Structure 1
Amino acid sequence: MKNGLKIGLALVLLSCLLPMPYGYYILVRYLAAFTFGYLAYSANQTKKSNAVMVYLFLMLLFQPFFKLALGRTLWNVVDVVVALGLLFSVFRTPSKPTS
């Protein structure tokens, strides 16, 4: 389920590169904040503290209540970087622990 959320959110973030109505971008912020909050909670349950910190940072970055005025160009860069990071986290193979 987590991989599906990551892929879905990555697609939504990439769709922000297209000209959309302003309300769509607000909806994306809500979806991203909620999804990153869930991913942080899930990472905390599995004791992955680095992932928790990354997801909490992203949740704060995308939260819709206190908007960061980064400008469209910078938000596009952020959207692409975060989308690629989400896709990378889905498709990478976990390294095997060394004994």
Structure 2
Amino acid sequence: MDKLIKIILAVLLFLYLLKMPYGFYQFVRFAALVGFAILAFMANQNNKQTEMIVYIVLALLFQPFVKIALGRQIWNILDVVVGIALIVSIFQKSQRKRI
């Protein structure tokens, strides 16, 4: 389930870079809040405290209620970095299971 959430969030964050209606950006921020909160809960259930903290920070960063003004360029960089990190984390877990 966490792989699916990570893929969906990564795709949404990459789509965030395109010119979209304002409502789409609000939807992505809300979906990111929910997705990262679920990932934080799952990390806590698996006793992965560092992952849990990272996901909580990301949930708070992307939440749509109190906007954090970082500027469009910084947000774009952040979206790409977080999207790539989500995809990389999927493959890192797959590699660990094989070893």
Which residue identity is paired with 1:10? A
Deviation string, structure 1 residues 34-86 (Cα, Å, up to 9, x no partner): 00000000000010000001000000100111000111111100100000000
Q: Tell me what 1:62 maps to.
A: 62
Q: Give the 3-state SS of the residue equivalent to 2:96 in structure 1.
A: coil
Distance 2:55 2:22 in 1: 25
Q: Give the 3-state SS of the residue equivalent to 1:70 in structure 2.
A: coil
Q: Tell me what 2:9 maps to.
A: 9
Distance 1:96 1:56 in 2: 28
Q: Tell me what 2:51 maps to.
A: 51
Distance 1:78 1:31 in 2: 16
Distance 1:14 1:25 in 2: 11
**Unaligned stretches of 5+ in structure 1?**
none
Q: Tell me what 1:94 maps to.
A: 96
Distance 1:95 1:42 in 2: 18
Computed over aligned residues only, the root mean square deviation of the Cα atoms, in angstroms, reads: 1.5
**Unaligned stretches of 5+ in structure 2?**
none
Identity %: 47
Which residue identity is paired with 1:94? R
Q: TM-score, normalised by structure 1?
A: 0.93
